[in-house]
Structure 1
Amino acid sequence: MKPLPEKLSAQDVMDDVPVIPVIVLHDPAHAVPLARALVAGGIRMLEVTLRTPAALACIERIAKEVPEAVAGAGTIRSAADAQAAALAGARFGVSPGYTRTVSKACHDVGLPLLPGVATGSEIMMAQEDGFNRLKFFPALQAGGAPMLKAWQGPFGDVTFCPTGGIHAANAHEFLSLSNVACVGGSWIVPNESVQTGDWTRITQLASEAAALPR
């Protein structure tokens, strides 16, 4: 893996590998072995979603104990989320939608943000605020690869990370598009493997995902 700058940009996050794992953790004890398993498979950009009470503790453990991983916080929906994520050690943020409040909060705490969009109007609003690297969410429900193809014309200067409904069988359809840098997906971190501590399986899935062409 190439060295990363101390201060990341959204481009650094999206261009690192083809897949950013979308991680939901309920037990902080799983955080470190999971992060190590993903890094062993070649994936270091880790989006830990703020969907559980354990999420911030998990980010903190990864940030402190797995320095070769880059812990990020997903599901940032408020300024308070951004502040808490930064305090826990997150180095990037991902939001399911776009608001200027969240954008400003992430900027203020130094978190590069991948804001979520699902419509042309949301893309235009994000671009007005300087964002050209965006998360397309929920990807399948919002039009999938055909929608991204349609956006290549009017939004040719925007690069996307589609997330939502993407798995090993359809990831290539998105990654083959010229306006897609990477995809987000939870298939790399199946819950049953996390619960049983099958870190070898997660390393295998990460290795396969890291090798996907784009």
Structure 2
Amino acid sequence: MTLDASTRSTLAATTVIPVVVCPDVSRADGLADALVAGGLPVAEVTFRTPGAHTVVSAIADRDDLLVGAGTIVTAAQAEQAIKAGARFIISPGLSEPVVATCRAAGVPVIPGIATATELLHALDLGLDTVKFFPAKTSGGPAAIKALAAPFGTVSFMPTGGISPANLADYLAITQVLAVGGSWMVDARALADGDFAAIRQACRAARELADSIRPRV
């Protein structure tokens, strides 16, 4: 199940994918507006909170934002996210039931891997894009380069421990499609409804990413 051209293009163009923990659905619209205005029109809404599916549902119909679900660890969660309107699924690991659920629904899935064996398993399932997770503690850019060498057709989306300080090291790798990061959406700012702060953080991330990997 290769990543479809539209999703791939949007992720690549956004470069830095906001990984969002939003426990309050009333903040969903303001958050979405801030992401779009800040130049990062993608949201990976993590299923770390009980109401994550309601957040996905609240913003899934927007035509200016690609909304996906992250931290999906079971087929049931994948089904819930897809029913809520998630347009892509990201998992911290490689689960065949999650992949099968997404494949049946025609929804792109990006599973997490950290080793060559896990990557081979992903290839056996017909996948061509994986999340390298947790990136920092699994060897960071050096590990991705080592994996990329024998797996030249695979795209990586590293997440975990990525920040403005090391962003350039990841984006220098050709096979890195995009990176996932949470620093743009501060939990306190979100709780306080300080969407201006989130917008500014997204704009700063957008400008930094563009300075490292200019958009064409």
The verdict on a shared fold, with TM-score over 0.5 as the criterion, is: yes
**How far apart are the structure 1 equivalents of 2:7 and 2:124?**
16
Separation in 1 of the partners of 2:115 and 2:7? 20
Provide the rounded CA distance (Å) in 1 between the counterparts of 2:147 and 2:204: 29
Matched, 1:132 2:121: no
Q: Which runs of 5+ in 2 are unaligned?
A: none
1:96-111 matches, cutoff 5 A: 96-111=92-107
Is 1:14 matched with 2:11?
yes
Give distance in 1, aligned partners of 2:16 and 2:205.
Answer: 6
Equivalent runs, 1:72-83 vs 2, <5 Å = 72-83=68-79
| Contact 1:76–1:95 (CA under 8 A) maintained in structure 2 | yes
Aligned to 2:43: 46
Change (3 A) 1:115 1:155: same
For 1:104, give the aligned amino acid. Answer: A
Give the C-alpha shift of residue 16 in structure 1: 2.7
Shift of 1:83: 0.8
Q: For the residues of structure 2 that align with 1:9 and 1:105, how far apart are their CA atoms?
A: 20
Q: Distance in 2 between matches of 1:127 and 1:12?
A: 21
Q: Secondary structure at the match of 1:194?
A: helix
Aligned to 1:3: none
| 2:126 maps to amino acid | G
RMSD: 1.4
Give 3-state SS (helix, strand or coil) of 1:86's partner: helix
Instruction: Provide the residue aligned with 1:190 in structure 2.
Output: 186
- How far apart, in 1, do the equivalents of 2:75 and 2:6 lie? 19
Q: Report how far residue 208 of structure 1 moved.
A: 2.1
Pairing of 1:1-214 with structure 2 (within 5 A): 10-64=7-61, 66-211=62-207, 212=209, 213-214=212-213
Sequence identity (%) = 43
Whether the 8 Å CA contact 2:35–2:42 is kept in 1: the answer is no
Contact 2:15 2:178 in 1 (8 A): yes
Structure 1 gap ranges (5+): 1-6
**Runs of 4+ off more than 3 Å:** 7-10
Alignment check: 8 A CA contact 1:8 1:92 kept? no
> Does the Cα contact within 8 Å between 1:14 and 1:161 map onto a contact in 2?
no
Kindly indicate whether the alpha-carbon contact (under 8 Å) linking 1:9 and 1:112 is maintained by their aligned counterparts in 2.
no
SS of the counterpart of 1:34?
A: helix
- Check 1:9–1:113 CA distance in 2 against 1; reply closer, same or farther (3 A cut): farther
